[in-house]
Amino acid sequence: MSEPQPATAQDYAARIARVLAWMQARLHEPMPLITLAEVAGFSPFHFHRIFRGMVGESVQQHVRRLRLERAAGLLKTTERSVLDIALETGYESHEAFTRAFRRQFSCSPTSFRETMRGTASPSPSNFSPMTYSTDELQVELRRLPSRMLLCLRHVGPYDQVGSTWERLCDWAGPRDLIGADTEMIGASYDDPDVTPADKLRYDACLTVPAGTVGEGEIFVRDFPGGMFATMLHEGPYQELGATYAKLYGGWLPQSGYVAADPPCVEFYLNEPETTEPEDLLTQVCIPLKTS
Amino acid sequence: MKRNLVQELKEEYGRSAKAKLLDVSDGVFLAADGKGAPDSEVYQDRIGALYGMAYTIKFACKQREQDFVVGKLEGIYAEGVPMMEFVQQPKEEWVWTMMIRMPEFVTQEDVVAARETLKKKGKTEDFNAVELREIQEGRCVQMLHVGPYENEGETGDKMIAFCEEQGLQPTRWHHEIYLSDPRRVPPEKLKTLLRFPVKTA
């Protein structure tokens, strides 16, 4: 796998364009993540996030859409059977294909064929990068100091981290480890577009004094700090993905920086139990390579 | 079932971008009185004591299966001084009662026990200054203030204009409910509910 090159917007756009073209030409083949990342010249971890940020949909969504669009073209311009086209599109049955087709085009393959027969074939999708306004990309570079963290690991969907937080705070609270200056930090290791929801790794973390000792699953570790690109996310936690897309797909490509290995960290600036979801403030921080 | 008064009392703790009239329910609070600017030692000591007590009581209640979410910090400023006069005073002269609302099942015994627990742990804040107190406000005008605390007067002006329109007159004091934590949230994003009791003019 190639090392990340000096990063420019054109360079990122060129790499994404390269992989899009590669995918377009092989829609009937399986597309392992590793191969796609290699074609683009990104590490597999960052590839999906950069892709989603720049293209505006995940790799899976993109492939599914292109395959269905191609199938639509075949329906219009050929006499091949629906089942035949379904199989070539990567579906194992007529029914599964029809369901997916209906979701995309709001009609069945058969009625699509009937109404569209004879019209021009749809042109293959062209790539134009998502554009973000300067207002949307208010990014601050920060050097975060190292900290001692008291952590509890959560594995599962991000919208279920609440119970992990509760367990951590129930342990730390009576031991006087939560005070006015305690910071609540979430560390995430996986990209929800890539890793299945039930396997997402996340640490709920509280800043604690040096010398603190954990117990059982609750552990203490050193957060080394370093350079981060940060953006303030305002609104429900369920919408954090949009802020990550802006950072990885909007800001990073034109920044001249290269993303470092995870975790990404989130600082929670208010209490979710007593704050309206629209008022929640989260400082999202993605790690950068420094050399 | 975990009690969460901020969620339960939406009308009182929810945001309202415009001035509104509401009937505030009677509530039980941990309360600490004092005088001085918000950056003074006494103010900081009282806040520390309030949070220490609130969380100690919460964990004690949780042990007996009466869990609750610790609510927002609130402050009542100066009985007898209308809000628009108050905001003109030098901060050092400010007389206040800082408070955190408690569910109705919290008792005087809980407060005494919490003081003991905290003192045994070697905590040095003045926990005797924290009392359990019932506060009744009744009919009030309330509005959300967004931005630095220094600009609260601008929101106050809108509340006064609303009162004049409605034929109401502010009484007693003004009350601030801190929806955001000023140590973490940038000043322009701070959200604070402003409230004062009113009577028909």
Give pLDDT tens digits for A208-232. Answer: 999 999 998 899 999 989 999 999 9
Concatenate the DSSP letters of all residues of A48-76 into one string.
Answer: HHHHHHHHSS-HHHHHHHHHHHHHHHHHH
Beta-strand runs (E) in chain A:
140-144, 147-155, 184-188, 201-207, 219-223, 226-234, 264-268, 281-287
Give pLDDT tens digits for B164-196. Answer: 999 999 999 999 999 999 889 999 999 999 999
Name the residue among B182, B190, B13, B70 with its Cα closest to residue A279: B190
* Bridge partners, residue B22, by sequence: B140
Q: Is B76 exposed, middle or buried (0-12, 13-18, 19+ CB in 10 A)?
A: buried
Higher pLDDT, A246 or A27: A246
- Residues of chain A within CATH 1.10.10.60 domain(s) are 61-116
B4 touches A: beta carbon within 8 Å: yes
Domains of chain B in start order, with CATH, are 5-200 (3.20.80.10)
* CATH number for the domain formed by residue range(s) A61-116: 1.10.10.60
pLDDT band at A126 (very low <50, low <70, confident <90, very high): low
Tokens of B201: 């003019």
* CATH number for the domain formed by residue range(s) A135-287: 3.20.80.10
pLDDT band at A127 (very low <50, low <70, confident <90, very high): low
* Closest chain B residue to the Cα of A282, Cα to Cα: B185
Which residues have C-beta within 8 Å of that of residue A108, sequence separation ≥ 6?
A98, A101, A102
Please, what is the angle between helix A33-40 and helix A44-55, to 10°?
Answer: 70
ipTM of the complex: 0.86
| CA distance to partner chain A, nearest, from residue B201 (Å) | 34
Name the residue among B74, B65, B91 with its Cα closest to residue B174: B74
pLDDT at B4 over 70: yes
pLDDT of residue B1: 80
- Is residue A247 within 8 Å of A284, Cβ to Cβ? yes
Q: Which residues of A touch B (CB under 8 A)?
A: 170, 173-174, 176, 178, 180-181, 232, 234, 267, 269-270, 273-276, 279, 281
| CA distance to partner chain B, nearest, from residue A194 (Å) | 32
- Is residue A154 within 8 Å of A241, Cβ to Cβ? no
Name the residue among A130, A157, A139 with its Cα closest to residue A243: A139
Question: Which residue in the set B6, B58, B183 is minimally distant from A274, CB to CB?
Answer: B6
Backbone φ, ψ for residue A217 (5° rounding): -75, -15
- Residues of chain A within CATH 3.20.80.10 domain(s) are 135-287
- Is residue B173 within 8 Å of B99, Cβ to Cβ? no
Q: State the Cα–Cα distance between residues A74 and A35, nearest whole angstrom.
A: 27
Question: Which residue in the set B59, B179, B183 is minimally distant from A275, CB to CB?
Answer: B179
| CA distance to partner chain A, nearest, from residue B37 (Å) | 19
pTM: 0.77
pLDDT of residue A119: 55
Which residues have C-beta within 8 Å of that of residue B123, sequence separation ≥ 6?
B52
pLDDT of residue A7: 58
